[in-house]
Structure 1
């Protein structure tokens, strides 16, 4: 949780409902939610739960505004941490709420959560033309570690400063 947001960790049942387009009784969704990336996150989470050790998966989350409870986006770890303790993270917000600092707030909270759960490195990436996402990762304390002709790569390692 953050000052303005509730990061609701999806259960298996909620992820299945999201995939089916069914709203559970406690969920209230912004008109543009879920987006394709939210469905992909739910799919990754469900796959980890059925094919692997779902108990080790750090989770998929709905980003909900505290003021009205609406789900305005999602964030997820793209599977359990690897043998090296690293995991990739993704996040997204519905277009109508972008530019208000919610993504950076979400990412900072999930980086703290990752540290608390023993994840040693969180990785993220953004297309070269996705300057907004690059700013989000930098604002959340992730550092640029490389780029290629298409993507910039970021990471956050506890104890390592920018």
Structure 2
């Protein structure tokens, strides 16, 4: 599977080798990481990806992606699916960026590429959530076309759906 390209970004499906580097926090000689990458969240995602690959195989295209700037090819964060679609065709997404890449519209741009890709893969809905006091991801998901569909005392829930 190839990269998903946007105007400024490449969403690169993580390989086992890349996940091992991220989990260890040590890039190989060819890796280009923005300072602060991988974040604690990226390390956690890489470890879960490796566990999934060992147990059931590579989940792509419904796995994690490294977000790279096309201008310098540096890894600035990650975005991806928490797993394959459930019995209703729904997936959950998550993302994170290094601090120096935040506030530049990268997350919304990446999500605007990932949503139609999910739809093209037969997904019927994409879900995400954000804590009430964490407004940045709320702006990201709404900028990409997701709508708030609920909330509880801690979290706001967002989704976008398509018919088959």
**Same fold at TM > 0.5:** yes
Q: State the match for 1:35 in structure 2.
A: 39
TM-score of the two chains, using structure 1 as the length reference: 0.92
Q: State the match for 2:74 in structure 1.
A: 70
Give the superposed CA RMSD: 1.6
Give the Cα separation in 2 of the matches to 1:82 and 1:24: 35
Give the Cα separation in 2 of the matches to 1:154 and 1:35: 24
What SS does structure 2 have at the residue aligned with 1:75?
strand
Q: 2:96 is matched with which residue: 92, 95, 98?
A: 92
Q: State the match for 1:21 in structure 2.
A: 25
Q: State the match for 1:2 in structure 2.
A: 6
Alignment CA distance shift 1:143-1:125 (3 Å) = same
**4+ residue runs of structure 1 moved beyond 4 angstroms?**
none
Q: 1:137 is matched with which residue: 138, 141, 159?
A: 141
TM-score of the two chains, using structure 2 as the length reference: 0.91
Give the Cα separation in 2 of the matches to 1:53 and 1:84: 22
- Unaligned runs of 5+ residues in structure 2 are none
Counting matched residue pairs gives: 160
Give the Cα separation in 2 of the matches to 1:113 and 1:46: 23
